[in-house]
């Protein structure tokens, strides 16, 4: 039987919550389930400044608007990220500066960032990868000293932490994804966390399509008016109903994924001479803060990774590569930033199937097929 790369998690409460939302007649961007999702983040992320969006892409675009990014500003982002990270700032006319990554965790390299900061740097975007936290504490110190905004792309990070804080809450702004490939999902959805009160009013206006409607609803102005550019970013109450059913299971979902992640690592360690062909992901510094979003291996060379990929997929195991480096892409070449580590590691990293409903027997089957496949590698 084939093993897919991902099967979206379903808690079992989604239909009940959706039915309740429909019965209330609250189908747009306000309602019981929007409020309850925001309450969940207030309790679990210790923040009251949250904006539920239609996607993490929208959350990133909101962040760029709230940060006041304009043409001529430089924004440092890792080349190893989803294109949405770059698009959000390119759409505002920013000059993208690509930063390299740490080879072990695939997160942005502080050393490379420091070399690429200039007088034009307006923001740095730290992308957390697969559950591994970028070094945002150090990055925040650097940003505060230089009056630069730190934005966290925590698309992978629901429930994950770093040094006792939730990923997404250290920077001035943070963005989370609820796409169906994520640990917790509602098909399409996202969240913007505003962690700096100075940015809150602008974020509210941007979220309300460029108006001061939020102030109007609080009774602060007699009617709302167009204040600046904004857009329609809001998640619907129906989508929030599905999301709440999943958020309530975040701890159990991440715990189970952690069990599967560790079983992968233990099983692959038992493959004879595996280290001649590939390396395993590093153990997180604090496994309790790890959400096990991705389990990956790295071929010793790009050619070995490609052969492992092809052999596993031929056997019905849906192993996948990840991003193509943005600095090497046709559009990305117009921007600056040499990223040699990204160029190599991106071609070696191969993701294994990992989803809540997976079992240990499936991992053992993948391990057995992988061991047999290694004998065919030239």
CATH architecture of the domain with range 14-247: 3-Layer(aba) Sandwich (3.40)
φ/ψ (deg, to 5) at 256: -65, -40
Residue 34 Ramachandran class (φ > 0 left, ψ -120 to 50 alpha, else beta) = alpha
What CATH code would you report for 250-374? 3.90.1150.10
In the chain, where the domains are located? 14-247, 250-374
CA 93 to CA 158: how far, in whole Å?
A: 30
Nearest by Cα to 156 from 190, 182, 189: 182
Please check whether residue 186 is in contact with residue 243, taking contact to mean a CB–CB distance below 8 angstroms.
Answer: yes
Closest CA to 99 of 60, 88, 118: 118
Neighbours of 40 (CB within 10 A): 16
Residue 328 DSSP class: G
Instruction: Using DSSP, state whether 273 is helix, strand or coil.
Output: coil
Tens of pLDDT, residue by residue, the chain (378 residues): 899 999 999 999 999 999 999 999 989 899 999 999 999 999 999 988 999 999 999 999 999 999 999 999 999 999 999 999 999 999 999 999 999 999 999 999 999 999 999 999 999 999 999 999 999 999 999 999 999 999 999 999 999 999 999 999 999 999 999 999 999 999 999 999 999 999 999 999 999 999 999 999 999 999 999 999 999 999 999 999 999 999 999 999 999 999 999 999 999 999 999 999 999 999 999 999 999 999 999 999 999 999 999 999 999 999 999 999 999 999 999 999 999 999 999 999 999 999 999 999 999 999 999 999 999 997
- The Cα-based distances of 100 to 111, 127, 354, 366 in angstroms read 9, 12, 27, 32
Q: How far is CA 5 from the centre of its chain?
A: 17
Angle at the Cα of 220 (from 218 to 224), degrees rounded to 5?
Answer: 90
Name 162's bridge partners.
Answer: 165
């Amino acid at each position: 039987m084939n093993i897919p790369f991902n099967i979206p998690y379903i808690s079992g409460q989604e239909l009940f919550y959706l039915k309740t939302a429909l019965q209330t007649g609250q189908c747009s961007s306000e309602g019981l389930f929007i409020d309850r999702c925001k309450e969940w983040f207030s309790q679990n992320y210790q923040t009251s400044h949250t904006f539920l969006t239609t996607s993490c892409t929208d959350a990133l675009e909101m962040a760029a608007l709230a940060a006041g990014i304009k043409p001529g500003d430089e924004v440092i982002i890792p080349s190893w990220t989803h294109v949405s990270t770059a698009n959000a700032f390119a759409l505002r006319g920013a000059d993208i500066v690509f930063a390299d990554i740490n080879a072990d965790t695939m997160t942005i390299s502080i050393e490379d960032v420091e070399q690429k900061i200039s007088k034009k740097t307006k923001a740095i975007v730290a992308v957390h990868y697969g559950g591994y936290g970028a070094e945002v504490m150090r990055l925040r110190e650097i940003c505060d000293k230089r009056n630069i905004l730190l934005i966290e792309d925590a698309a992978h990070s629901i429930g994950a932490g770093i040094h006792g804080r939730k990923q997404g809450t250290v920077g001035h702004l943070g963005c989370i994804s609820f796409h169906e490939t994520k640990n917790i999902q509602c098909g399409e959805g996202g969240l913007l966390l505003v962690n700096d009160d100075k940015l809150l009013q602008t974020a509210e206006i941007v979220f309300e399509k460029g108006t001061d409607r939020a102030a109007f609803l609080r009774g602060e102005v007699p009617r709302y008016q167009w204040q600046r550019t904004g857009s329609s970013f809001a998640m619907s109450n129906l989508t929030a109903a599905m999301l709440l059913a999943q958020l309530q299971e975040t701890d159990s979902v991440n715990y189970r994924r952690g069990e599967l992640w560790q079983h992968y690592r233990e099983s692959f360690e038992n493959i004879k001479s595996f280290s001649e062909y590939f390396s395993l992901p590093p153990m997180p510094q604090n496994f309790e803060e790890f959400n096990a979003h991705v389990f990956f291996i790295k071929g010793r060379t790009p050619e070995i990774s490609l052969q492992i990929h092809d052999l596993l997929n031929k056997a019905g195991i849906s192993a996948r590569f990840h991003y193509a480096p943005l600095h090497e892409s046709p559009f990305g070449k117009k921007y600056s930033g040499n990223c040699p580590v990204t160029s190599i590691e991106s071609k070696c990293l191969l993701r294994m199937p990992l989803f809540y409903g997976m079992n240990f027997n499936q991992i053992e089957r993948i391990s057995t097929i992988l061991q047999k496949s290694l004998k065919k590698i030239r």
